[in-house]
Structure 1
Amino acid sequence: MIVDHGTPIGQLTLASVVRGAVQFCSLGFWVAEKRTGCGVASVAVEPGVQFAFGNIGLHRVQAETLVHNIASRRVLAKTGFEEIGLAPEFLMIASTWQDHVLHQRLNPHWA
């Protein structure tokens, strides 16, 4: 939960943790519309990534955004994620398969 002065304003999730040879998870986030563009998501992403790297010990955190979701793509770029490619028809949203841009951040301690 992303909270501001006791009020929930968004959510950050680490989902689909995969162990074995890959050691990664998928990061997702959303922020209330009236709080977008205020830096809230950027501030929330870093502790989530550090939790994935430190507490869970993962090698990679990945995130997927709709191609046209420029705000989320900016958040990911600002927090050290790199765009690694396009995943055609990655996720079904509103009954339609939507293309997504894939992003990743690698754990520097695994280098």
Structure 2
Amino acid sequence: MTDGFLTGQSGDSSRVTLRQMATHDQEEFIELVRASADLHQPWMSLPVTPEDFQDHLGRFDGQSAEGLFVCRRDTGAIVGYVAVNSIIRGRFQSASIGYAAFAPSAGQGYMSEGLGLVLRHAFEELRLHRLEAQIQPGNHASLKLVQRLGFRYEGNSPELLFIDGAWRDHERWAITTSMIEGFAGDPHPTLPVR
């Protein structure tokens, strides 16, 4: 993993780029999480101490999970966070995503652009076939976001994830490479021939 930008740096009109989460982001990340507490409750719990940040960062090994920041192209400021979790290869070629906008820049469309870049990164660079998002039914902003990006509703899972001190119901949404018009990426080498 590198600290450099992954995609969206040049050749497109997006206002954002993606880069991998790194140790030097600790102070800015914690400050943004604290400033966004009202926005994130009860939808998600993110690290708010240096120790929690380091533990969180340690999960992202580049093989089974990646931690990404959505950053403004003009300033480099972090505007959102995306975790690509539970990357499974072989016949599945799938991962789940979790994401959050940060309050100082929420509602300005940065996460729509950023998640669009995450889809491109996941399907072209990671060569996944499927991405899933699990979203609490009351999180209307998040539901609208995945719908805008073309995810399909696949069902409801009661008490799926433990968030904010309780097991929360989640809707399951997914997108596959076959749902993206014109996509012709190469399969990952771990995909069996038959």
TM over 0.5: yes
Structure 2: gaps of 5 or more residues? 1-68, 179-183, 186-194
Structure with greater strand percent: 1
One of 117, 121, 127 as aligned partner of 1:51: 121
Aligned-pair identity (%): 27
Tell me which structure has the larger Cα radius of gyration.
2
Is residue 2:70 matched to residue 1:2?
A: yes
One of 82, 105, 124 as aligned partner of 1:12: 82
The whole-number CA distance in structure 2 between the counterparts of 1:100 and 1:70 is 12
Q: Is the contact between residue 79 and residue 106 of structure 2 (CA under 8 Å) also seen in structure 1?
A: no
The aligned length equals: 110
TM-score, normalised relative to structure 1: 0.91
Aligned to 1:85: 155
Is residue 2:163 matched to residue 1:104?
A: no
Structure 1: gaps of 5 or more residues? none
SS at match of 1:91: strand
Cα RMSD after superposing both structures: 1.4
CA drift at 1:34: 3.5
Report the residue type matching 1:77 in the other structure: Q
Report the residue type matching 2:172 in the other structure: L
Greater RCO between the two (CA within 8 Å, min separation 6)?
1
- Deviation digits for residues 59-95 of structure 1 (CA, Å, limit 9, x no counterpart): 1011111111000111100011111110110101122
